[in-house]
Every structure is written in C-alpha cells, then in structure tokens.
Amino acid sequence: MGHRDRLRSCLVSRLVKVLITLVVIAAVAVAGFFVFEYFDHHEKVKDAERACGSLTSPAPGVALPTGLGSFALPSDQTLLEVDSQGKTLVVYAITKGSRKDLVSLRDKVVAQLTARGLTASATDQEPTYEAEGQFSGAVNGTIQVQPQCQGYDRIRYKFSL
C-alpha cells in the first residue's frame, strides 16, 4: 500500500469516527429532548390535578409595582406574586380554568392587552400543557399560561424594563 493509500485510509477512518460521534451526539440530544418533554408535560398534568390549598392565596402585601404604565390585571385575574430578576419583572396571576382552557385563556389575555393599546400576539402553544404570547408598546414582555391546580390556571407575565 502506497503513502497516498494509507493517507486516504486514515482520512476515511477519521471521517467515519467523526460522523459516528456526531450521530451519537444528535441521538443523545433528541432522546434528552423527548425525556424532558415527557416529564415537563407530566408535571403540568400533575399540577392541574392537585388540590389548590394555598396555591390560590396571594403573597402577603403583594401589589403591582409602578412603572408598568397603564398595565393592570383584568378583573377575573388574582395577583399572586411579583418577582424581579434584574431588569425583568415577573408577575404571577391566577384565574379560573382548566388544562383545556389554556389556549383560549391566552387568546383572551392577548385580546385584553390589545384592547389596552399594546401590540400582542400568540406565539406558541401546547394545548392542555401551556400557551404563550408576547406583547409590546408602553411595556414589553411575554405571557405564559399553565395549569396551577384544580379549577385554576396560572398566568405569568414577564416585563422587560
């Protein structure tokens, strides 16, 4: 076997090893994604079926902060908690609903935001697990609707300040 043949054989061998490695990495990534999705959905189903207990009770002294312009929660939503993460403000609210209501509830919230002069859109949904949207205008952010407990859904508003 000549020098070129050995070089070609070595190059092909390395190429095969690289391709096998890439296939293995892709397979692990895909499997990991499906495992994550399974457990993520399983947890949301458990959330929807659990007893509410204190999960519908607002944090003591919770109030919407100033700086959100004319943003106010609709009357059918109860403010649960407000948290800040750097320049992001997170507002958690609940409303009556079930897993089957997540997309329609998201659409209702999008319509309410639009009626207040914001530009809003639905962005993603996994019916019976979660539904998301985004809004912009006087305030910018996203919404996510997920099951909270029996008879209630949680709406998470994230505001970029």
- Domain identity same for 29 and 43: yes
Band the pLDDT of 7: cuts 50, 70, 90: confident
Structural domain tally of the chain?
A: 2
Mean pLDDT of the chain: 85
- Domain identity same for 151 and 82: yes
- Domain identity same for 136 and 80: yes
Whether the per-residue pLDDT at 84 is higher than 70: the answer is yes
Q: Report the C-alpha gap between 101 and 127 in whole angstroms.
A: 8
Band the pLDDT of 70: cuts 50, 70, 90: confident
Q: Which residue has the higher pLDDT, 35 or 80?
A: 80
- Domain identity same for 70 and 34: no
Q: What pLDDT is attached to residue 21?
A: 82
- Domain identity same for 72 and 118: yes
Q: What pLDDT is attached to residue 44?
A: 55
- Domain identity same for 146 and 69: yes
- Domain identity same for 36 and 59: no
The number of angstroms, rounded, from the C-alpha of 14 to the middle of its chain's C-alpha atoms is 41
Beta bridge partners of 93: 79, 155
What integer is the mean pLDDT of 20-39?
Answer: 68
- Domain identity same for 121 and 76: yes
The range of the structural domain enclosing residue 139 comes to: 53-160
Q: What pLDDT is attached to residue 89?
A: 94
- Domain identity same for 36 and 64: no
Q: Report the C-alpha gap between 126 and 132 in whole angstroms.
A: 9
- Domain identity same for 19 and 74: no
- Domain identity same for 37 and 61: no
Whether the per-residue pLDDT at 78 is higher than 80: the answer is yes
pTM above 0.85, yes or no: no
Q: What pLDDT is attached to residue 85?
A: 87
